[in-house]
Structure formats: C-alpha cells, structure tokens
Structure 1
Amino acid sequence: MKTALLFGSSGLVGGHLLNQLIKDDNYNKIKIFVRSEPEINDPKVEIIKTDFNNLQNHKEDIRGDDCFFCIGTTKKNSPDKDEYRRVELDIPREVAKITKLNLVNSFIFVSALYANPKSSGEYIRFKGQVEEELKELNFPKLAIMRPSFLIGNRKEKRASEIIGIFVFKLLSPLLLGPLKKIKPIHSETVARAMIAVVQNDIQQIILESNDISKITS
C-alpha cells in the first residue's frame, strides 16, 4: 500500500484527483497540503495545513511514494508579480526538491500547453522553467502533463476560457497531426492519466493532451 502526496487538491484537476485517489485501493493514505482545512471526512485523507512561505518546515510531512502537483494560479487571483512568481515557479520547484531529498519515487506535474523556459509570457516561461528543473532532479518516475483547454466545473468562471473551449470544440474534427494537442480535454481525464502513468510502465515524460487522452482511453 502506498502514500500519495497531493498539492492543489482544491483545484479543477486536483479535486478530481483526490476523489480518484480515495477510491484507489493502491493507496492507503493521501496527504493533502492546503492553506485552509477543507471539509473532508475520509480515513485515508490526512490534511496538512501548510505554510507555503516556509515549506522547509514541512519536510517531514512531505514523505510518501507518489507526489501529484496541481497548484496553479492566474494573474487575476495573484495580481502581485512576486506572488504570481512564487506560486507558479518557486513553490513547485521547492516541493520537488524536498520530495527528491525524501526519496519520493514519482513526481507528476501539471504544466501547460506550449510550456517553454524561453517564452516571453510569464505563465508559459515559468511552467517551462519548472519542467527543466524537474528533469534535472532525475526522479525514478517523472511525468509532465501539458493539457490544453481544461473542461470542467470551475468555481471561478473565466469568460475567455469558456469562449476558447467552445471554439476549439467546434474545430476539434479539424485538429489533426500536431494540432491534436490543442483539443480541449476534461479535467477528470487529466486526473485519471496522472494516476495511470504511476501505475503503468509509461516512460514518456512530456504528455500533451492527445497523449493524456490515449492513456485513459
């Protein structure tokens, strides 16, 4: 039986991932790292109220078998540049370094479509920088998920994403070859794939939306 570490359990992908991990008999404990305690009553779930400004204080908590990292933000939710950088860049790389030192076997990271450490856009650049650092840590198992537009019931409605998803759904039949990766994908599908890459012999590190769909089909 294994212990899962989950960062970002209140998000679109993380919420589905938590539900699936609870149902998964391979895990007898799920540690969720949160700022405020959610209303969860399940014997498998250990809630760790986390000071994300001082992650070193939680080194002993960040021990387990598989780490699933789904934390992310938006410029609207984190308008301060330093805070935005901290959430998108500093927190994931610090968590990754701690998990590696604690001999956590797997690190599964939700990145972004077209992540690139040399991009002029901060969101894409930060995701790309984290990806590069994760590769250098040499986890026994590393998977980087690059979903396109995420479909699901968001707590916060984003008009641009709603329009984008609608347009890309209409265009999906025409998205062939290298364009397959920009097809919208359901957040629940991404969550299922994150568990699947841990439990199966999948060596591919970078998984675009079309790769993620194949794993779960």
Structure 2
Amino acid sequence: MVNTEHAGRTALLAGASGLVGSALLTALLADARYQKVLCIGRRKLALQHPKLTQQIVDFQALPALPAVDDVFIALGTTLKVAGSQAAMRALDVDAVVAVARAAQFAGAQRLGVVSSMGADARSAVFYTRIKGEMEEALLRLGFAQTVIAQPSQLTGPREALGQPKRVAERLGLQVMRWIKPLVPANYQPIAAEHVARALLDAVAHNTPGVTRLLSGQMQA
C-alpha cells in the first residue's frame, strides 16, 4: 500500500547511464511513490516510459529545472575515461554540486547521492579525496535530508551499458569469491542494484539531517 503522504512525487535523476544510476532509474520508474522522473544528462537514453522525461544538459551551464521533490545523483567517472584529474573533478565534484544546487532551486528538499567508501576530503588518494570534497560541498547546501551512499567495489552489467571492460576489476572479483568469508562486509563488492535500492529506500524514509549508508549496510 502506498503512503499517500509520499505519493505523486517528482524525482530528478542525474547519472542514469551508469551502473547505479541505471538501477536507480529502474527502481524509480517502478516505485508508486513517484509520479514523474526527470533524467538529465549529456545524451538521451533509449528507454521510454510514461513516467519518464529526459532533458539533455551541459553540466557546466545547467538551465533552470522544472519543479522536483527529490534529487538523486549518481554521476562519476574514472581517471582513465576522464583523461585528467581536472576533467574527473569537473564531473565527480563540480557537476554533482551543480545538479544538487539546481534541484534545490527547483524545490527539492531531499537528496540522495552516490559517493564512495573511504571518501575523505583530506585523503592522500585523489579518488577518495574528491569524493570527500563533493560530500562536504553538498552538506553546505543544507538540504532538509541528505543521504550519502558509500559503496565499495561495484558489480553489474558494465558492458551492457557500453562501459569499457575493467580487467583488473574482473580479476579482483574472481579472487574475492574465494576469500569473501574472510572479508568484512564493508569491503566486499556490492551489486549496483543493491546500492540503488538502499539509497531510494533511505530517501523515501525521509529522516531529517544526514544519513551515510556504508557498503555493508546496503548488502541485500
């Protein structure tokens, strides 16, 4: 039974072409609490759905957005794909914050974002450092509710989404199958769909303030 208090909502989603983003889109479209889903991105998805509206945007110059209730952000890349640290930061930090700010101007009070395990703005590791910087910038925006998912290594259909093969990642997952019982839950690989479901459920729970979802918590 749908809670009528949360029914008829409009969700904004950025990053729907990625592993967690595509799983989030599937979950949002199937969720009776959401009447409309607006996806923004640099290219259009092939998917069509009665609840879905798509808008092509430049993340460096976002237009005013239509009214939304909740915003979900699953933007991210790798250094290899981005080509430089500056280009990676432009998407993983600047674009994420720009989307959150634009959604806030459009009325959003609840934010769900995909970050990373170990995110820390003072980390010596570039990847975890920019994730930490992104989290701190989002918290300064002051959403009524902010949910931050911090998954470990993600698993899912990368090739089906047109993402490049990651040989080292595949080898790591094979090794993990043998040693998984010895590895703490927060460090075990996690399916993208589990992250998406946990993030959506946490935002829907509507707990004021900041909630961080560790990888072990999000394991189905």
Once residues 102 and 22 of structure 1 are traced to their aligned partners in structure 2, the CA distance between those partners, rounded to angstroms, is: 20
1:166 equivalent among 174, 179, 193:
174
Q: What do the CA deviations read for 1:172-205 (whole angstroms, capped 9, x no partner)?
A: 2112xxx321111111111111110022255661
Q: For residue 103 of structure 1, report the CA deviation from its aligned partner.
A: 3.0
Once residues 19 and 128 of structure 1 are traced to their aligned partners in structure 2, the CA distance between those partners, rounded to angstroms, is: 27
Q: For residue 108 of structure 1, report the CA deviation from its aligned partner.
A: 0.6
Once residues 49 and 114 of structure 2 are traced to their aligned partners in structure 1, the CA distance between those partners, rounded to angstroms, is: 25
Give the letter aligned to residue 6 of structure 1. L
SS of structure 2 residue aligned to 1:76: helix
Q: Report the count of equivalent residues.
A: 208
Structure 2-normalised TM-score?
A: 0.88
Q: List alignment gaps of at least 5 residues for structure 2.
A: 1-7
Once residues 108 and 174 of structure 1 are traced to their aligned partners in structure 2, the CA distance between those partners, rounded to angstroms, is: 31
2:203 equivalent among 198, 201, 210:
198
2:104 equivalent among 81, 93, 100:
100
1:124 equivalent among 116, 128, 151:
128
**TM-aligned CA distance change 1:120 to 1:40, over 3 Å:** same
Once residues 41 and 52 of structure 2 are traced to their aligned partners in structure 1, the CA distance between those partners, rounded to angstroms, is: 12
SS of structure 1 residue aligned to 2:81: coil
Q: What do the CA deviations read for 1:135-176 (whole angstroms, capped 9, x no partner)?
A: 22221111110111111110222011112222233222112x
Once residues 189 and 86 of structure 2 are traced to their aligned partners in structure 1, the CA distance between those partners, rounded to angstroms, is: 30
Determine what percentage of the aligned residue pairs are the same residue: 33
**TM-aligned CA distance change 1:121 to 1:199, over 3 Å:** same
- Which runs of structure 1 show a deviation greater than 6 angstroms over 4 or more consecutive aligned residues? none
Question: 97-106 or 122-131, which moves further after superposition?
Answer: 97-106
2:90 equivalent to 1:86: yes
Q: What do the CA deviations read for 1:40-94 (whole angstroms, capped 9, x no partner)?
A: 2211100101112211xx2234x31111100101111111332211011111112
Q: List alignment gaps of at least 5 residues for structure 1.
A: none
Structure 1-normalised TM-score?
A: 0.90
Once residues 11 and 105 of structure 1 are traced to their aligned partners in structure 2, the CA distance between those partners, rounded to angstroms, is: 24
Match of 2:119 in 1: 115
SS of structure 1 residue aligned to 2:17: coil
RMSD, aligned α-carbons: 1.6
2:82 equivalent to 1:51: no
SS of structure 2 residue aligned to 1:137: coil
Once residues 153 and 75 of structure 2 are traced to their aligned partners in structure 1, the CA distance between those partners, rounded to angstroms, is: 16
